Structure 1
Amino acid sequence: MVDVRFVASGPLRLWTERTGDPALPAVLLIAGSAAQGISWPDEFVARLVERGVQVLRFDHRDTGRSSVVDFDAHPYTISDMARDCLAVLDGHGLASAHVAGASLGGMLAQWLAVHAPTRVRSLTVMSSSPMGHDPRPVWARALAGEPADPDDLPPPSPAFLAHQAAELPPGIESDVALFRVFNGPVRPFDEPAARAMLELAQSRAVDPAAAAHHHQAVWLPDPELRAPLSAITAPTSIVHGDQDPLYPLAHGEALATAIPGAVLHVVPGMGHVMTSPGLPEEVADLIRL
């Protein structure tokens, strides 16, 4: 059973999709920065449904079919995006859900577990970093060619920084090249599947350029992100690849240390995305339910 609908988050309309029996417990999937709900692979969703849950995926504001925001006139923060996640639950009449977020979505998931604990039945943070960590010093040192600060979390990999420095023209080929880097060098990269997802995302976006607003939002001051992760009470799993080029494994280890009782699952050969054959199903089995 698939239920596609728009829900309201204040003045915004968010595209949502619910798959599975609505009488079953729900899993809310929160995609990463500039990513649409469809970035969660169909195989991943299907595997979760097989595990006996319903699955919600949605387009963030400024992505896919959801509302486009005039960011200059109405700038928003990570906390505002997290409140959109609550609106998705409200729009489907759900008091709570198992919450799984990847990359920036993992930070939104952390926010929910800290600031809306009654809405989070369990927490899975994938390929992410502690929500209160300021990456600017790390990135500045890396881009300047300076050695990493041993007292800070590590910078992105040289391969990722080289891709950023190449400044490829925007478009599908640039996106595919980025996903090849995100995949990492160990597991095979399913380029046809990645390309198909990226082409679909481009075709269904109201304004493809608007997703870049997420990159602006992450730099805005947001005091709510500084809340201690030690306040999280939801059963928590951290899922992290040992080949993640954006958030090296130390980021996942830091999360597991900061959240009481968190269990760390290190996925061998996994990068920052699930673009290797069989990986979506493998990771879906690690989602905390």
Structure 2
Amino acid sequence: MSTTHDRLVSVPGSTLPCRSYGDPANPALILLMGNTMPGGFWPPQFCAGLAATGLHVTEYDYRDVGGSTPGAFAQQPYDLLDLADDVCAVADALGRERVHLAGLSMGGFLSLLTALRHPDRVASVTSMMSTADYTVLLAATLHGREPRNPTFPAPRADWLAAVAAVPVDQPYPQLLAAAFRLAGGSRGDGDEAYWLAEIARVTDSPETTLAFDHKLAADRTDPAWLDLAPRLGELAVPVQVIQGADDPIFPPPTGRLTVDAIPHATLHTVDGMGHMLEPAFFAPLTEALAAHIARAIRETAKG
């Protein structure tokens, strides 16, 4: 199993570190993490497990998090469309004309956005623990107002209240770990000790490398590109939506609403999974991703 840790991708105003797993001759899968999270938050054992299914797996740091250029947004403000263009820059750096995408939370939304913006560059999409309408989350967490589109469910009120009650007068890693635990599912195994260890694995300075809120970039995005549901019928690539049955941020029926808007999309609901990538779910998610990509490759081969 080969792993490349030192690839840097240049995008406007920033450089993005990338890490790859597996044989570069295999089909390319790019993983997109959630808001504020660098690519390193994809656990190496999860990435290695995907690579073992016959994929070349790459994760990377978004602008302003992880090892990417600090202060990029302050120097040159960007939006989610720019982050979608960054996906293509990573594909270019890998020498790939078309790539499979799998994203978690904001990354799931970005995977759909990228497929709509750059349909010739995307071979398949898996959107996990995510949504097709980002305006609902922005309204609830950034603006404190009712969402403009009541079709998609808002984050659960009990989760919002629990997050608001987390004491802020504690070290930042403990604050993050508490919030991550609250987003987990009933069958998950990510307690606060696990998340503290994960944070320490990814960075020794979370106050800077895990602190930028990409919802600021989302808030700069053209509103027509924040609710993708009206556009999803344009998607011609195979799409899989993976919904956590216990997701408090994008709760059911978010996944079903997304799938119903996409021709030939599939929905895979994981019992007991919340909004976090916990070890308990590595195996079923790996299996679902690998099977979806294999089907997409077969369909492409049929012409």
Q: TM-score, with normalisation over the residues of structure 2?
A: 0.85
- Residue of structure 2 equivalent to 1:166: 165
1:38 aligns with 2:40: yes
What are the residue-to-residue correspondences of 1:241-280 with 2, within 5 Å?
Answer: 241-275=244-278, 277-280=279-282
> Could you tell me whether the CA contact under 8 Å between 1:14 and 1:66 is conserved in 2?
yes
> Could you tell me whether the CA contact under 8 Å between 1:43 and 1:281 is conserved in 2?
no
Supply the AA of the counterpart residue of 2:128.
M
Supply the AA of the counterpart residue of 2:234.
A
- Residue of structure 2 equivalent to 1:207: 208
Structure number with greater CO (CA < 8 Å, separation at least 6) is 1
> Could you tell me whether the CA contact under 8 Å between 1:27 and 1:97 is conserved in 2?
yes
Identical aligned pairs, as a percentage?
A: 31
Structure 1 residue ranges without an equivalent (≥5)? none
In the TM superposition, residue 140 of structure 1 has moved relative to its aligned partner by: 8.8
> Could you tell me whether the CA contact under 8 Å between 2:103 and 2:128 is conserved in 1?
yes
Quote the Cα distance in structure 2 between the aligned partners of 1:131 and 1:175: 25
Indicate which of 99, 102, 107 corresponds to 1:100.
Answer: 102
> Could you tell me whether the CA contact under 8 Å between 2:123 and 2:238 is conserved in 1?
yes
In the TM superposition, residue 72 of structure 1 has moved relative to its aligned partner by: 3.9
What are the residue-to-residue correspondences of 1:89-128 with 2, within 5 Å?
Answer: 89-128=91-130
In the TM superposition, residue 80 of structure 1 has moved relative to its aligned partner by: 0.9
Indicate which of 78, 81, 96 corresponds to 1:79.
Answer: 81
Supply the AA of the counterpart residue of 2:266.
V
Quote the Cα distance in structure 1 between the aligned partners of 2:174 and 2:206: 17
SS in 1 for 2:203: helix
> Could you tell me whether the CA contact under 8 Å between 1:41 and 1:280 is conserved in 2?
no
In the TM superposition, residue 74 of structure 1 has moved relative to its aligned partner by: 2.1
In the TM superposition, residue 209 of structure 1 has moved relative to its aligned partner by: 6.2
1:220 aligns with 2:223: no
Quote the Cα distance in structure 2 between the aligned partners of 1:149 and 1:75: 25
SS in 2 for 1:71: helix
| Length, aligned pairs only | 284
Q: Summarize the Cα distance change of 1:272–1:226 in structure 2 as closer, same or farther, 3 Å threshold.
A: closer
Quote the Cα distance in structure 1 between the aligned partners of 2:152 and 2:62: 27
In the TM superposition, residue 192 of structure 1 has moved relative to its aligned partner by: 3.7
Q: Summarize the Cα distance change of 1:165–1:193 in structure 2 as closer, same or farther, 3 Å threshold.
A: closer
What are the superposed Cα offsets for residues 233-279 of structure 1, whole Å, 9 maximum, x if unpaired? 1111100110001110211111111111110000000000122x431
Structure 2 residue ranges without an equivalent (≥5)? 294-303
Q: Summarize the Cα distance change of 1:191–1:134 in structure 2 as closer, same or farther, 3 Å threshold.
A: closer
Q: Summarize the Cα distance change of 1:204–1:116 in structure 2 as closer, same or farther, 3 Å threshold.
A: farther
Q: Summarize the Cα distance change of 1:167–1:233 in structure 2 as closer, same or farther, 3 Å threshold.
A: same
Supply the AA of the counterpart residue of 2:237.
A
> Could you tell me whether the CA contact under 8 Å between 1:29 and 1:55 is conserved in 2?
yes
- Residue of structure 1 equivalent to 2:28: 26
Quote the Cα distance in structure 2 between the aligned partners of 1:21 and 1:70: 32
Quote the Cα distance in structure 1 between the aligned partners of 2:227 and 2:49: 34
Quote the Cα distance in structure 2 between the aligned partners of 1:209 and 1:286: 28
In the TM superposition, residue 149 of structure 1 has moved relative to its aligned partner by: 9.5
Indicate which of 62, 65, 71 corresponds to 1:60.
Answer: 62
What are the superposed Cα offsets for residues 86-122 of structure 1, whole Å, 9 maximum, x if unpaired? 1111111111111101100011100111111111111
Q: TM-score, with normalisation over the residues of structure 1?
A: 0.89
> Could you tell me whether the CA contact under 8 Å between 1:32 and 1:105 is conserved in 2?
yes
> Could you tell me whether the CA contact under 8 Å between 1:65 and 1:206 is conserved in 2?
no
> Could you tell me whether the CA contact under 8 Å between 1:63 and 1:206 is conserved in 2?
no
RMSD of aligned residue pairs (Cα, Å): 2.5
Supply the AA of the counterpart residue of 1:160.
W
- Residue of structure 1 equivalent to 2:235: 232
